Chains A and B, each alone.
Chain A
Amino acid sequence: DAKTTQPNSMESNEEEPVHLPCNHSTISGTDYIHWYRQLPSQGPEYVIHGLTSNVNNRMASLAIAEDRKSSTLILHRATLRDAAVYYCIFLPYNFNKFYFGSGTKLNVKP
């Protein structure tokens, strides 16, 4: 299975950077790493994805380790609206299964 390992929960102060780690030791060379986040009673929302290089978009940055067995989602300045459960998944090239796991619950303190 395409499983990832994430801490159950993390806490951050508002306006500070947050680094959310993810281990994906069984990833293969063609599998993309995706991050999603979920607010209560809503469907998950896409955040960012990448293959080998670090990626940036308006929501976050994704830092991928050189061996690709781990990655870190970086929120540069956490806001209260960033409090959510964050899921790290990787998609096998034939992408026939997504494994979401339990994710990391991020709490942002004012």
Chain B
Amino acid sequence: DGGITQSPKYLFRKEGQNVTLSCEQNLNHDAMYWYRQDPGQGLRLIYYSQIVNDFQKGDIAEGYSVSREKKESFPLTVTSAQKNPTAFYLCASNPRDSNQPQHFGDGTRLSIL
């Protein structure tokens, strides 16, 4: 079945370490997104990409980096510059057509040791 795969489901990071969250989709979607969700809050956009080798900052990009070398992959790196990285991270994708819904992965929960 087509969908979005995020891995790992749970991730722990030590202070000062960078960590990379994986997001892969086999839906042939052009656009991909990363969101952060804190407890009891809505989703906030970190980065998005509408085409391979191109991406834009969302509302809370500081302390994060992304790459889009392949259409199906959009990894997110949480750098040591992100001072409060503990959160639930969601990856999503959709075709380049606002008439089509956005598909989400099951998320990665990142915690600081």
Contact = CB atoms under 8 A, between A and B. Distances in A.
Interface of A: 30-32, 34, 36, 41-46, 49, 51, 87, 91-93, 95-103
Interface in B74-113: 88, 90, 92, 94, 96-99, 101-107, 109
Interface residues of B, number: 29
B102 A34 contact: yes
Nearest to B101: A46
Nearest to B90: A43
Nearest to A30: B98
Interface in B49-93: 50, 56, 58, 88, 90, 92
Interface of B: 4, 31, 33, 35, 41-45, 48, 50, 56, 58, 88, 90, 92, 94, 96-99, 101-107, 109
Contacts of A99: 45
A98 B101 contact: no
Contact of A43 (B41, B96, B97, B107): B107
Contacts of B102: 34, 36, 44, 46, 98
B98 A32 contact: yes
A82 to B, nearest CB: 18
A103 B48 contact: no
